[in-house]
């Protein structure tokens, strides 16, 4: 272990200890539990994907240890993501153990929704507070074109199951792409508003190369998406900050909030409070940069302790870059696809 590191208190008081060199406090992690998925969305994956071999990915026990280390360092919120979290075998045992972590205030899940019809009650019982469900089209053929293999009906059933289970603030995520679904902005907003749930529109990010289209031609700005929505809904901007690239507005007269996640056209990096851990155990300090630390090496080193893992995480905060530079040719662009990043 690096002897220059400050000694770490042995206590697990869950006080915030993750502060980066720009003074930002990290209290939120996105933990990827798999790079695999039962869909192949055109913006996220190529058609023929090679997935990581089993020994290269963290075991469920290692994922639990990473989550525990972060909560002991003051992380209050964990979002499980992937790939598709629900395709990892025995993922429910991990979720149940995370639901019991002292210090954790919010356990969240991002899913394509295809298996929620089966899992919604178990997820609620395990302590998942909120669920984000991705859906990019309400037309079955088009849904299949975008997801390449997904069935719209399974996702709609999953959304209904999550609503029936009474999850707090269910949110839909839609990536709007020119030539794919830009004419469905209002239909997707209506679908969410009719059900009293939230929806966020995401600008497509240049993470790896998309095999079916040139991203620069398909990316729709959220300013345009918002203008379409405002043809029908009055939007009242929320003062609440999400400490990320998203901003939410209340649809006046309705329960739903409409969100705009605009990493391309707006840079909100100064508020960033999050890091990601890939399923390979790579602590990724920024979605749009490659700065990272290998936690798997520490986890699998028989001479390293849990306290060593926490020290490495604390030290890694100094590597967190100030901001991302999507589409800025002066800066190296990420080559990893979203499924290996943890969305
Ligand atoms: N499989 C789950 C799902 O689809 O919700 C979780 C993982 S997925 C990578 C997380 C989110 O990332 C999804 O909402 C997806 O739409 C979004 N996403 C994937 N690739 C993206 C890209 N290149 N640009 C913007 N959003 C992307
Ligand atoms: Fe799978 Fe989610 Fe990526 Fe679609 S966005 S391919 S559902 S991981």
CA distance linking residue 16 with residue 20, whole number of Å: 12
CA 7 to ligand 2 centroid distance, Å: 41
Answer yes or no: is 248 within a domain. yes
In a domain, 211, yes or no: yes
Q: How many angstroms separate the Cα of 186 from the Cα of each of 103, 174, 191, 262, 264?
A: 40, 12, 8, 18, 21
**What per-residue confidence (pLDDT) applies to 154?**
98
Please name which ligand lies nearest the alpha carbon of 174: 1
- Answer yes or no: is 261 within a domain: yes
> Residue 83 has which token pair?
């790939």
> Given this model, what pLDDT does residue 337 score?
59
The pLDDT assigned to 172 comes to: 98
Q: Does some domain include residue 23? A: no
Query: ∠ CA(197), CA(200), CA(201), 5° rounding?
Result: 140
| Atom from ligand 1 closest to the CA of residue 32 | 7
Rounded Cα distance, 6 and 314, in Å: 9
The finding on whether 155 has its CB within 6 A of some atom of ligand 2 is no
Ligand lying closest to the C-alpha of residue 146 = 2
What CATH number did the domain enclosing 271 receive? Answer: 3.20.20.70
Q: Residue 204: what pLDDT? A: 92
User: pLDDT value at position 292?
Assistant: 86
How much distance in Å is there from the Cα of 65 to the middle of ligand 1? 25
Q: Tell whether 235 is covered by a domain.
A: yes
pLDDT score of 201: 97
Buried b (16+ CB within 10 A) or exposed e, 98-121: bbebebbeebbbbbbbbbbbebbe
Residues lower than pLDDT 70 in the chain: 1-11, 241-245, 267, 288, 323-343
251 - beta bridge partners?
A: 235
Domain presence at residue 21: no
Q: How many separate domains does the chain show?
A: 1
pLDDT score, position 9: 52
pLDDT at 210: 82
Helix residue ranges per DSSP H, 40-84: 60-72
Cα end-to-end span (Å), the chain: 31
Give the pLDDT of residue 3.
41
Helix, coil or strand: residue 38: coil
Identify the pLDDT of residue 4: 46
Full domain range(s) for residue 214: 28-341
Asked if residue 253 belongs to a domain, the reply is yes
Closest CA to 155 of 192, 211, 113, 208: 113
In contact, 153 and 196? CB cutoff 8 Å? no
Report whether 115 contacts 158 (CB < 8 A): yes
pTM summary value? 0.92
* 40, 84, 207: residue to mutate for ligand 2 pocket, most atoms within 8 A of CB: 84
- Which ligand 2 atom is nearest residue 38's CA? 1
Tell whether 2 is covered by a domain.
no
Query: Which ligand gives the minimal distance to the CA of 46?
Result: 2
The response to whether residue 250 sits with its C-beta less than 6 Å from ligand 2 reads no
């Amino acid at each position: 272990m690096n002897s220059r590191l400050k000694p770490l208190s042995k206590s697990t008081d869950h006080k915030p200890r993750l502060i980066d060199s720009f003074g930002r406090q990290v209290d939120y992690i996105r933990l990827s539990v798999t790079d695999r998925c039962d869909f192949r969305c055109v913006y996220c994956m190529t058609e023929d994907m090679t997935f990581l071999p089993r020994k290269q990915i963290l075991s469920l026990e290692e994922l639990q240890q990473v989550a525990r280390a972060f909560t002991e360092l003051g992380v209050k919120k964990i979002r499980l993501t992937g790939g598709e979290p629900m395709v990892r075998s025995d993922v429910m045992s991990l979720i149940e153990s995370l639901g019991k972590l002292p210090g954790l205030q919010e356990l969240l899940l991002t899913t394509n929704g295809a298996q929620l019809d089966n899992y919604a009650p178990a997820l609620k019982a395990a302590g998942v507070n909120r669920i984000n469900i991705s859906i990019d089209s309400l037309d079955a053929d088009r849904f299949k074109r975008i997801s390449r293999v997904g069935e719209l009906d399974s996702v709609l059933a999953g959304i209904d199951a999550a609503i029936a289970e009474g999850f707090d603030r269910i949110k839909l995520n839609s990536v709007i792409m020119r030539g794919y679904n830009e004419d469905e902005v209002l239909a997707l907003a209506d679908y969410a508003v009719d059900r009293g749930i939230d929806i966020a529109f995401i600008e497509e990010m240049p993470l790896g190369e998309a095999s079916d289209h040139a991203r620069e031609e398909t990316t729709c700005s959220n300013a345009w998406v918002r203008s379409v929505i405002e043809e029908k809904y009055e939007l009242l901007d929320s003062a609440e900050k999400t400490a990320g690239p998203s901003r939410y507005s209340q649809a006046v007269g309705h329960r739903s909030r409409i969100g705009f996640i605009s990493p391309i056209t707006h840079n909100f990096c100064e508020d960033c409070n999050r890091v990601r851990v890939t399923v390979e155990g790579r602590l990724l300090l920024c979605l749009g940069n490659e700065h990272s630390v290998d936690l798997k090496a520490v986890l699998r080193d028989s001479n390293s302790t849990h306290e060593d893992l926490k020290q490495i995480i604390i030290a890694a905060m100094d590597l967190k870059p100030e901001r991302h530079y999507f589409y800025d040719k002066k800066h190296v662009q990420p080559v990893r696809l979203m499924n290996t990043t943890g969305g």
